[in-house]
Amino acid sequence: MKIFKFGGASVKNAEAVKNVVQILGSFKGEKIGVVVSAMGKTTNLLEKLVDEYVNDRNPLAVIEESKAFHDQILNELFEDKSHVIFARVETLFGALEKRINTEPSSNYAYEYDQLVGYGELLSTTIVSAYINEKSGACEWLDARKLIRTNVTYKEAKIDWDTTHELVNGAVRNVEAHLFMTQGFLGHTNTGHATTLGREGSDFSAAILAHCLEAESVTIWKDVPGVLNADPKWFDNTQKLNHISFKEAIELSYYGATVIHPKTIQPLKNKNIPLFVKSFVKPEESGTVIHEDTSADSLIPSFIFKMKQVLISISPKDFSFMVEENLSEIFEHFASHRVKINLMQNSAISFSVSVDESPQVQKLIAKLRETYNVKYNDGLELVTIRHYDQETLDRVSTDKKILVEQKSRATARLIMKSIS
Ligand code: ASP
Ligand code: MG
């Protein structure tokens, strides 16, 4: 069995859905489990729906907008307007409307998960119906009966043993060569919907593959594979033809966004290769992520984090930075939910780089009650894996380097533009 994952961009309109069906058609005869995300930007729109709902504004208008978007796709895909899919989609929107007509609880994350998962319910309902219509049987499975999680809504943690049982129990009964389920969604032991965190569908695919001991996972994307840098910040990017699980974990740790960070571990544990391929050019080889580390150092990779704030914290009395200070400082970061991208300490100061956000200003105010705090914003953090002098020079042209950290395989620079 193979597991495929199609993200929002691969099903953003009717033409894209047809392309997905064509790709699946070229795997006829193989058993394939397909994980699909919400269509296009649906999840962002449903996040807006949650805000309108819990703040008692106009959630219905947002539902109408999402309905118009999905209706257009449906109408283009299905000529027969009496097809049962129209009623099914209507039912899903009806259920959403029913929800927003009840009072929200005070638990925002819970309300979020009950609403936002409809994006995936809609996409899988539409795409699987289209496959059934055009190309052959595809069984729709409800991830709210497969993926068991705890109650940490919005960031739910997997209950692996139960999920293993549920997934195998359900898939054993699938007769069709294809089954399709929702990415991103799970459920609690009392049957409430949960979500696995934004962009969590890659992780869903890895969970299924792990539980089913699949032969491989393929993530179909709008890029040719894993590139050595984000083309947004970098010219002449190169595709990494194959990298190891370990390298992929390192890249996502430093902020590379091609694959959701939780995806690799479940695959690595069962030695299941992960392919990243283009849904535009499915015949091309893409990237394979596997056990073999031999190609990891062939091409340097660059990870950029913009809008960084470098905060320097030192005791007001010029005493040393010791464990007690540091643990207190870390507690403030954790309670303000500010994530540290890089840190460095000296005898009398501790410096960290974090993403710019309103929370950071609150954190700085808090720290200033006890420490001298200086900060510098508008910075960029560049991480280079498998660096050399040439790559260091390339990223630091016209930049002033404020912090530089090097280990054997990784260099990290915090820089300011000289303008
Ligand atoms: N639809 C969800 C999101 O946009 C999950 C995913 O796409 O992976 O975050
Ligand atoms: Mg998505």
165 and 21 in a common domain: yes
**Distance (Å) of CA 186 to CA 23, 139, 203, 244, 404:** 27, 18, 11, 29, 41
Amino acid at 65: E
Helix extents (H) in 103-184: 108-116, 118-134, 160-172
Q: How does 374-388 read in b/e, with b if 16+ C-beta sit within 10 Å? A: ebeeebbbbbbbbbe
17 and 112, same structural domain? yes
Is 260 within a domain? no
Q: List residues, by chain if needed, whose CB lies under 5 Å from ion ligand 2.
A: 8, 37, 43
Distance 263 CA to ligand 2 centre (A): 15
Burial of 365 (0-12, 13-18, 19+ CB in 10 A): exposed
The answer to whether 60 and 29 have CB atoms below 8 angstroms apart is no
**Amino acid at site 76:** E
CA-closest residue to ligand 1 atom 3: 199
Are 203 and 315 in a shared domain? no
Ligand 1 proximity of 66 Cβ (cutoff 6 Å): no
Residue after which a domain boundary falls, among 179, 214, 249: 214
* Contact yes or no for 1/214 (Cβ under 8 A): yes
Q: Is residue 38 within 8 Å of residue 127, measured between CB atoms?
A: no
User: Is 114 close to ligand 1, i.e. is its CB under 6 Å away?
Assistant: no
Instruction: Say yes or no: 37 and 158 in one domain.
Output: yes
Identify which of 120, 199, 207 to mutate to test ligand 1's pocket (most ligand atoms within 8 A of the CB): 199
160 with 14, same domain?
yes
Residue 191 lies in a domain: yes
On whether both 201 and 313 belong to a single domain, the answer is no
264 lies in some domain: no
Closest protein CA for atom 5 of ligand 1: 199
| The pLDDT value given to residue 319 | 86
The CB of 247 under 6 Å from ligand 1? The reply is: no
How many structural domains does the chain have? 2
Count, in order, helices (H) and strands (E) of the chain: 13, 16
Q: What are the Cα distances from residue 411, in Å, to 149, 232, 324, 388?
A: 37, 21, 29, 9
Q: How many CA atoms lie within 13 A of 184 on its CB side?
A: 25
**Single residue among 214, 235, 267 that ends a domain in this structure:** 214
Nearest CA to 244 out of 298, 305, 205, 282 is that of: 298
Is there a domain that residue 86 lies in?
yes
| 204 CA closest ligand 1 atom index | 8
What is the chain's pLDDT, residue by residue, as a tens digit (419 residues)? 999 999 999 999 999 999 999 999 999 989 999 999 999 999 999 999 999 999 999 999 999 999 999 999 999 999 999 999 999 999 999 999 999 999 999 999 999 999 999 999 999 999 999 999 998 999 999 999 999 999 999 999 999 999 999 999 999 999 999 999 999 999 999 999 999 999 999 999 999 999 999 999 999 999 999 999 998 888 999 999 999 999 999 999 998 888 888 999 999 999 999 999 999 999 999 999 999 999 999 999 999 999 999 999 999 988 888 888 999 999 999 999 999 999 999 888 999 999 999 999 999 999 999 999 999 999 999 999 999 999 999 999 999 999 999 999 999 999 999 97
Distance 41 CA to ligand 1 centre (A): 9
287 CA distance to ligand 1 centroid (A)?
21
154 lines ligand 1 (CB under 6 A): no
Show which of 189, 214, 239 is a domain's final residue: 214
Residue 26 makes CB contacts below 8 A (sequence gap 6+) with: 282
Question: Best of 37, 112, 116 to mutate for ligand 1, by most ligand atoms within 8 A of CB?
Answer: 37
Q: What is the CATH number of the domain that holds 59?
A: 3.40.1160.10
CATH code of the domain covering residue 350: 3.30.2130.10
In a domain, 251, yes or no: no
* Residue 110 forms part of a structural domain: yes
Residue 119 resides in a domain: yes
Residues 305 and 208 in one domain: no
Atom of ligand 1 nearest to the CA of 198: 9
The DSSP line for 301-344 is EEEEEEEEEEEEEEETT-----HHHHHHHHHHHHHTTPPEEEEE
- Which atom of ligand 1 approaches the CA of 200 most closely? 8
Spatial contact of 23 and 282, defined as CB atoms under 8 Å apart: yes
Backbone angles phi, psi at 270, to 5 degrees: -110, 10
372: phi then psi, degrees, rounded to nearest 5: -80, 125
Residue 219's φ and ψ, nearest 5 degrees, are -100, 120
CB 286 near ligand 1, within 6 Å: no
Helix 42-54 / helix 84-100 crossing angle, nearest 10 deg:
30
Residues 144 and 26 in one domain: yes
Is residue 291 in some structural domain? no
Residues 162 and 30 placed together within one structural domain of the fold? yes
* 178 in the same domain as 312: no
Instruction: Verify that 80 and 191 share a domain, yes or no.
Output: yes
Ligand 1 atom nearest to CA at 260? 8
From CA 80, how far away is CA 86, in angstroms rounded?
A: 10
User: Do 177 and 50 have their domain in common?
Assistant: yes
Residue 8 Cβ < 6 Å to ligand 1: yes
The finding on whether 7 has its CB within 6 A of some atom of ligand 1 is yes
* Residue of 118, 201, 219 to test ligand 1 pocket, by largest number of atoms within 8 Å of CB: 201
Residue 272 CA to ligand 1 center (angstroms) comes to 23
Helix (H) or strand (E) run with residue 267 in it: helix 264-269
Report phi then psi at 173, rounded to 5. -90, 0
Give the domain range for residue 92: 2-214
- Sole residue written with tokens 């991830």: 143
